[in-house]
C-alpha cells in the first residue's frame, strides 16, 4: 500500500449539499515522525453536525476548511507507530476525518477493546452518539420512573439509545420516526412503548393519542413540525434536551408555532454540545459499553462501502434515508 484516498471539502453548499461539494483525492502514504503513529481507518462516522461545519458561519466550532479533509469520527488499526503509548495492531477511535489513512500524535486517540464490542459500535452506541444520548437524558431531562419521554429521530444512532436508556429508568417512551419500518423496529426491537410515523399526516393527533397524560421530557433531534407537535403536549415543568435540528440543516425552513408553550408550561429547554463535557465520557460510555456487551442495549447500522460513497451517504443521512447509525466501511 503506497497511496490512500481522502475526501476534502471542495466548496461550501449553496442550499442543499451536493456531491460536487466534495472531492476525492489520492495521496502517497505519509511518513511519520518520532511520537506519531499511522492509522488505517476501518470505519468512518457520518453525523448531522457535519452539515453545520460546512458553513462559514459563527458556531460552537470552527468551520470546516476548504480543500482539507472533511472532519469525522473514525475507528481503525495502528499500522505503524513511533509513539510508546501505541503499538501496531492497536484498535483506536479518533477524529481523523474522511480518509483511509491518518497520522496522529496520539493525543486525541483512544484505544478500544473489540473482543466484546464490535469495532463499528465505537462510532455509534458506544461512541459520540451514545454519549450524546446519555448526557442529554441524564443531565438535562433527568428522567423519573413513570414519566413519559418523547424522542424524535427515534430509530437513529442517538434516539435509539435515548429510548432504551429511558426504559431502563422506568419511563414510558414514545418515539417519532419516518416510516412504518422504522417505527416497527423502535417498538418491537428497541422496546419503546409507541412510535409515531411523522410521515403519516396526523402528527399532532398521533402524539396526543400516544401521550394522553402529556409528556414530561423531550429529547429533540429534528426540530420543525416534529418539535412543534410535541411542544403542544408538554406537561408543566417539562424538560427538553435540544440535541439537533436536522430538519433545517440543509436550508429548509423550521417553523415553530408553539413557542408560547415554553412560557405557559414553564418548560426548561437546553441545547448542548456533548464534546464540552468530556469529563463525563468515561462514566457514560462505561455504562453504555456494559449494556451493549451484555446485549441489553441494541443498535442498528447503515453501512455504505468505500470512501467514494461517503458524499451520497451523507446526503441520504440529511434526508433521513439511513436506518440507525450511518457508517462508511473503508476496509
The answer to pTM > 0.95 is no
> Based on the domain organization, do 138 and 269 belong to the same domain?
yes
> Based on the domain organization, do 178 and 261 belong to the same domain?
yes
How many degrees, rounded to 5, is the angle at CA 163 between CA 110 and CA 93?
10
Contact 300, 325 (CB under 8 A): yes
Cell of 319: 434526508
Q: How distant, in Å, are the alpha carbons of 36, 62, 90, 149, 164 from that of 175?
A: 44, 33, 38, 8, 11
> Based on the domain organization, do 14 and 110 belong to the same domain?
yes
Give the DSSP per-residue string, 203-234: HHHHHHHH-TT-EEEEEESS-HHHHHHHHTTE
* Residue numbers of the domain that contains 108: 3-124+299-329
Task: Output DSSP code: residue 174.
Answer: E
> Based on the domain organization, do 264 and 145 belong to the same domain?
yes
pLDDT in tens, the chain (331 residues): 899 999 999 999 999 999 999 999 999 999 999 999 999 999 999 999 999 999 998 888 889 999 999 999 999 999 999 999 999 999 999 999 999 999 999 999 999 999 999 999 999 999 999 999 999 999 999 999 999 999 999 999 999 999 999 999 999 999 999 999 999 999 999 999 999 999 998 999 999 999 999 999 999 999 999 999 999 999 999 999 999 999 988 878 888 899 999 999 999 999 999 999 999 999 999 999 999 999 999 999 999 999 999 999 999 999 989 999 999 999 8
Task: Output DSSP code: residue 176.
Answer: E
User: Rounded to whole angstroms, how far apart are CA atoms 167 and 303?
Assistant: 27
Q: How many CB atoms lie within 10 A of CB 228?
A: 18
Residue that has been written with the C-alpha cell 502514504 in this structure: 29
> Based on the domain organization, do 110 and 185 belong to the same domain?
no
Which residues lie below 8 Å from residue 120, measured CB to CB, with a gap of 6+? 42, 43, 75, 301, 303, 325, 327
Cell of 28: 502517497
Q: Is residue 294 part of a domain?
A: no
User: Rounded to whole angstroms, how far apart are CA atoms 14 and 290?
Assistant: 43
Task: Output DSSP code: residue 69.
Answer: B
- DSSP 3-state helix, strand, coil percentages of the chain (rounded to 5)? 30, 25, 40
> Based on the domain organization, do 321 and 203 belong to the same domain?
no
> Based on the domain organization, do 33 and 21 belong to the same domain?
yes
> How many folded domains does the chain comprise?
2
Contact 307, 25 (CB under 8 A): no
Amino acid at each position: 500500500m503506497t497511496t490512500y484516498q481522502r475526501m476534502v471539502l471542495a466548496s461550501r453548499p449553496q442550499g442543499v449539499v451536493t456531491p460536487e461539494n466534495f472531492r476525492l483525492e489520492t495521496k502517497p502514504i505519509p511518513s511519520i515522525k518520532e511520537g506519531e503513529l499511522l492509522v488505517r481507518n476501518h470505519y468512518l462516522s457520518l453525523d448531522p453536525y457535519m452539515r453545520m461545519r460546512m458553513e462559514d458561519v459563527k458556531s460552537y466550532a470552527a468551520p470546516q476548511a476548504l480543500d482539507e479533509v472533511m472532519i469525522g469520527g473514525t475507528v481503525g488499526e495502528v499500522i505503524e507507530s513511533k509513539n510508546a503509548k501505541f503499538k501496531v495492531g492497536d484498535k483506536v477511535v479518533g477524529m481523523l476525518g474522511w480518509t483511509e489513512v491518518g497520522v496522529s500524535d496520539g493525543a486525541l486517540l483512544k484505544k478500544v477493546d473489540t473482543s466484546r464490542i464490535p469495532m463499528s459500535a465505537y462510532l455509534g452506541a458506544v461512541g459520540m452518539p451514545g454519549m450524546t444520548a446519555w448526557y442529554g437524558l441524564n443531565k438535562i431531562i433527568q428522567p423519573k420512573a413513570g414519566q413519559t419521554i418523547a424522542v424524535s429521530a427515534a430509530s437513529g444512532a442517538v434516539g435509539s439509545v435515548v429510548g432504551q436508556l429511558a426504559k431502563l429508568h422506568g419511563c414510558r417512551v414514545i418515539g417519532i420516526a419516518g416510516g412504518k419500518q422504522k417505527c416497527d423496529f423502535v417498538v418491537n426491537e428497541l422496546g419503546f412503548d409507541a412510535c409515531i410515523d411523522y410521515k403519516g399526516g396526523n402528527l399532532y393527533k398521533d402524539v396526543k393519542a400516544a401521550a394522553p397524560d402529556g409528556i414530561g421530557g423531550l429529547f429533540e433531534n429534528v426540530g420543525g413540525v416534529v418539535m412543534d407537535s410535541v411542544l403542544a403536549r408538554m406537561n408543566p415543568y417539562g424538560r427538553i434536551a435540544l440535541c439537533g435540528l436536522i430538519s433545517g440543516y440543509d436550508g429548509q425552513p423550521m417553523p415553530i408555532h408553539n413557542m408560547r408553550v415554553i412560557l405557559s408550561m414553564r418548560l426548561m429547554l437546553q441545547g448542548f454540545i456533548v464534546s464540552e463535557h468530556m469529563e463525563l465520557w468515561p462514566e457514560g460510555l462505561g455504562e453504555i459499553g456494559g449494556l451493549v456487551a451484555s446485549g441489553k442495549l441494541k443498535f442498528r447500522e447503515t453501512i455504505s462501502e468505500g470512501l467514494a460513497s461517503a458524499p451520497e451517504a451523507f446526503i441520504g443521512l440529511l434526508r433521513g434515508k439511513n436506518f440507525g447509525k450511518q457508517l462508511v466501511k473503508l476496509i
